[in-house]
Every structure is written in structure tokens, then in C-alpha cells.
Amino acid sequence: MSPNIILLTGEPGIGKSTAIKKIISLFDATYLTGFYTEEVREKDSRVGFIINTLDGKQGVLASIYSDSELRLGRYGVNKEIFEELCLPCIIGGMESGKTLIIDEIGLMQLYSEKYKELLLHLVDSNYPTIGTIFYHSYPWIDDFKVNKNIRLIELTPENRDNIPMDLYKIFNLGEDNDK
């Protein structure tokens, strides 16, 4: 069985979340469920990250203004909002038969043990998923990336504009994704 879980990876700023948003725009919304993240900027500075669910909910994942004890660099991480918004998207996606969008599997999200458990269940089920994953080495993520049910695609300046349509064709037309 070929992997139904395709995760985009690449250097920070290469366009992983942008690619996810392009993929979302290509599909009929009734075929997708999940979530994506967006930067929050003030002037020329990033001050946080917002979670957007495909069913229209939104919340602050992390902010420099947060007083959360969970910190990643200068950002306070809101694990409770993340779990409240994103875990039901994953569970519902697995039950619905829709292609699941997960942006992202990264260090902020890994503060949630429930999320990690759900990801392990997801990968064991080989459920149709398009997502993004942290590029650099990190113990839990390194182990996750090598699962036989995951296909990693590294985004580069050369391929990042074509990848959304390629994935749309794979998931929408049921093409073999061993190419």
C-alpha cells in the first residue's frame, strides 16, 4: 500500500503554509477537513500565529504577548486553544472520509501529548492526509518522519509552485503517489 500521508517539509519561510492554502483553494471544501496556521505580523515583525480550521473557527496558537508558561523562543504557546480547535478536526476528519489537512506538525504543537497520540493513530491508519512538518532534526519528529505510511516532500524554490497542483491530482484523482 502506498502512503496516503504526504507531508511537506522545508526550511522555515520556504512556503509550506502557503502551499497548504493553495491546496485548500484547489479542492471543493466538502472534500477537506483540518486546519492551517498563519503568521500574525505587526509592521515588519512576526508577533504570533493563528490557527484557522476549515470549518471556520480561529484561535491564537502563540503570541509574543502571551503569558503562557509554555514557551518556544519568544512565543507563549496556547496548548488549550490548539487542542480545542485542532484535535476535533483530526478526529472528525478520520471519521468523515475527507482528506485531512494538518498545518503543522511542529515544535509548538508538540507541547500537546494528545496531539502526538492522535498523530500516531493517524499514521497507523494511513488516513488520507496532506500536511506540513518541521524541517530540522528533533527527536519525536525524526522518529515520526520515517514511518512507512508517510511520504515526505521537501519544498524548494524550484518545486514549491507546482506541488499544490501535483497533490491535488494525487488526492482528487486517486493517482498512485509512489511517483
**What pLDDT, on a 0 to 100 scale, did the predictor assign at position 29?**
82
**CB of 29 closer than 8 Å to CB of 45:** no
> Based on the structure, what is the number of domains in the chain?
1
Burial class (CB within 10 angstroms; exposed 0-12, middle 13-18, buried 19+) of 159: middle
CATH classification of the domain holding 130:
3.40.50.300
Residues spanned by the domain of 101: 5-36+86-173
**What pLDDT, on a 0 to 100 scale, did the predictor assign at position 174?**
53
- DSSP code per residue over the chain: ----EEEEE-STTSSHHHHHHHHHHHS-GGGEEEEEEEEEEETTEEEEEEEEETTS-EEEEEETT---S-EETTEEE-HHHHHHHHHHHHHHHHHHTPEEEEEEESTTGGG-HHHHHHHHHHHHHT--EEEEE--S--HHHHHHHT-TTEEEEE--TTTTTTHHHHHHHHHHHT--TT-
Q: Average pLDDT, stretch 54-76?
A: 96
Q: How confident is the model at residue 1 (pLDDT cuts 50, 70, 90)?
A: very low
Residue 10 lies in a domain: yes
Residue 75 lies in a domain: no
**What pLDDT, on a 0 to 100 scale, did the predictor assign at position 176?**
43
Residue 94 lies in a domain: yes
Residue with cell 512507512: 148
Residue 77 lies in a domain: no
**What pLDDT, on a 0 to 100 scale, did the predictor assign at position 179?**
38
Residue 15 lies in a domain: yes
**What pLDDT, on a 0 to 100 scale, did the predictor assign at position 126?**
79
Residue 43 lies in a domain: no
State pLDDT tens for residues 70-127.
999 999 999 999 999 999 999 988 888 889 999 999 999 999 999 999 999 999 987 8
Residue 71 lies in a domain: no
Of the candidates 107, 111, 110, 56, which has an alpha carbon nearest to the alpha carbon of residue 85?
A: 56
Residue 81 lies in a domain: no
Rounded Cα distance between 55 and 58, Å, is: 9
